[in-house]
């Protein structure tokens, strides 16, 4: 009887723990839904005095891509040994599982190394190099499946600051921004890398395509260097456009879905717009719900994508043309009004998990902030890594980040 009671209590406790602790992978740029949000729960509410535990820390090369976490692997790209490498680490131990050369090392005056974050789908890793080579690699073995020069396929030119579009997998297509005449956005067959369709014209910009529901339909929404496009993912048909030219084609943050409409933002003192998209008689109509542009904008995302929580957008508002002053800001998504602002917070990046913002600063700090429209409330701050622009990737109770020297795993 005592054994039966003990077993029953064990099952009950296991059930309680299972219900209160949610785990998830981070299989692509900005997480599972590409919105910067994780479904994980039961994470830290404050940092211990010595800071959160670093589970592992391993050498890593130069690069700007974030870490993708899927099926027990933490994957990123980097310049190392004269090549752009796709590298997979054991997500629990940091041991290097495999590495695959994608192209010659990439160098650029705005920073060396590949920019785009890899995507994992169906046992395949898709990576995009700084010079526009799209690759498919077997997730288990690291074997190269195919390699396509996307710029050559689309007769496009390399972006001034490097190709930065993180691949998006939709059905049998992998989609990236390429730029060019009729090829601003392009889809390639996941089986062989052949060009399937292309859409829009103009510079690629530095943002990434996002799959979201707009006006009741699933669409690929792309913020290219000078406009926003709503695209039918099945054939590349452009459903609607909204012009959004930014100096130097520096549209870098991703579009954000807000109840079937779209929020876009850019730095260089450009600002932000909430776009209403409506469908009538089979056609899409676009209008501004509200706009806040120029040097007095409420939100100028330089490269960081804002996150939406309960009708409020939280993000980095950068003052000036790539200037040093950046405020952490909360705005009402419906009205565009500023709710609160932590002035001169500094440059960084953020993601959302368990009701908290997990912020990585360029100075190498991990900062924990409560998500609330009531005001800024800091829950923890710890110096853990080197200079970085990357956001934290959260998976299975752990956080992954890389700088230009190391890749880290942090217990959350």
CATH number reported for the structural domain that contains residue 232 in this entry: 2.130.10.10
Residue 178 has pLDDT above 60, yes or no: yes
Q: Cβ distance 51 to 404 under 8 Å?
A: no
Whether 289 is covered by a domain: the verdict is yes
Angle at CA of residue 168, ends 69 and 126, nearest 5°: 60
**Per-residue pLDDT reduced to its tens digit, 268-297:** 889 999 999 999 888 999 999 999 998 899
The number of residues in the chain equals 412
Whether 76 is covered by a domain: the verdict is yes
Q: Which tokens belong to 278?
A: 């409506």
Whether 13 is covered by a domain: the verdict is no
Whether 398 is covered by a domain: the verdict is yes
DSSP bridge partners of 146: 136
The residue written with tokens 């998976």 in the block is 395
Which residue, 218, 182, 215, 187, is CA-closest to 200?
A: 182
Q: Which tokens belong to 72?
A: 């027990």
CA distance 104 to 98: 18
Whether 206 is covered by a domain: the verdict is yes
**Per-residue pLDDT reduced to its tens digit, 55-80:** 999 999 999 999 999 999 999 999 99
pLDDT of residue 20: 53
pLDDT of residue 322: 79
Whether 2 is covered by a domain: the verdict is no
- Give me the sheet containing 378-383, strands edge to edge: 37-38, 348-353, 356-361, 365-370, 378-383
Q: Cβ distance 360 to 366 under 8 Å?
A: yes
Q: State pTM to two decimals.
A: 0.94
Mean pLDDT of the 290-315 span? 96
Whether 20 is covered by a domain: the verdict is no
Average pLDDT, the chain: 94
DSSP bridge partners of 353: 38, 356
What's the domain count of the chain?
A: 1
Whether 19 is covered by a domain: the verdict is no
Range of the domain at 195: 26-411
* pLDDT class of 21 with cuts at 50, 70, 90: low
**Per-residue pLDDT reduced to its tens digit, 100-153:** 999 999 999 999 999 999 999 999 999 999 999 999 999 999 999 999 999 999
CA distance 155 to 8: 66
């Amino acid at each position: 009887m005592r054994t039966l009671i003990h077993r029953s209590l064990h099952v009950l406790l296991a059930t309680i723990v299972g219900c209160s602790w949610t785990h998830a992978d981070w299989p692509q740029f900005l997480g599972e839904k590409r919105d910067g949000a994780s479904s994980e729960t039961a994470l830290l509410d404050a940092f211990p005095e010595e800071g959160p535990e670093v589970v592992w820390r391993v050498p890593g090369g130069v690069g700007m891509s974030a870490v993708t976490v899927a099926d027990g692997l933490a994957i990123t790209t980097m310049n190392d040994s004269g090549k752009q490498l796709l590298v997979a680490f054991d997500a629990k131990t940091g041991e290097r599982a495999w590495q695959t050369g994608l192209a010659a090392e990439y160098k650029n005056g705005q920073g060396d190394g590949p920019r785009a974050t890899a995507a994992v789908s169906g046992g395949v890793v898709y990576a995009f190099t700084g010079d526009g080579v799209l690759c498919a690699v077997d997730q288990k073995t690291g074997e190269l499946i195919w390699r396509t020069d996307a710029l050559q396929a689309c007769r496009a030119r390399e972006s001034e600051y490097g190709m930065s579009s993180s691949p998006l997998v939709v059905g049998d297509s992998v989609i990236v921004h390429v730029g060019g005449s009729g090829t601003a956005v392009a889809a390639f067959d996941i089986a062989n890398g052949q060009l399937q369709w292309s859409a829009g014209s103009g510079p690629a910009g530095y943002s990434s395509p996002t799959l979201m529901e707009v006006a009741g339909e699933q669409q690929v929404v792309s913020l290219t260097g000078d406009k926003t496009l709503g695209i039918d993912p099945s054939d590349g048909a452009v459903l609607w456009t909204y012009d959004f030219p930014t100096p130097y084609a520096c549209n870098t943050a991703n579009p954000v879905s807000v109840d079937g409409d779209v929020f876009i933002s850019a730095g260089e003192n450009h600002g932000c717009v909430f776009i209403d998209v409506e469908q009538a008689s089979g056609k899409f109509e676009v209008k501004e719900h509200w706009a806040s542009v120029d040097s007095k904008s409420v939100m100028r995302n330089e490269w960081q994508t804002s996150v939406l929580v309960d009708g409020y957008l939280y993000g980095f508002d950068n003052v000036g043309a790539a200037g040093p002053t950046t405020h952490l800001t909360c705005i009402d998504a419906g009205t565009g009004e500023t709710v609160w602002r932590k002035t001169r917070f500094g440059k960084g990046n953020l993601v959302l998990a368990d009701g908290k913002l997990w912020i990585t600063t360029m100075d190498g700090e991990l900062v924990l902030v409560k998500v609330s429209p009531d005001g800024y409330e800091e829950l923890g701050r710890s110096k853990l890594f080197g200079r970085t622009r990357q956001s934290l990737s959260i998976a299975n109770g752990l956080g992954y980040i890389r700088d230009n020297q190391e890749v880290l795993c942090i217990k959350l």
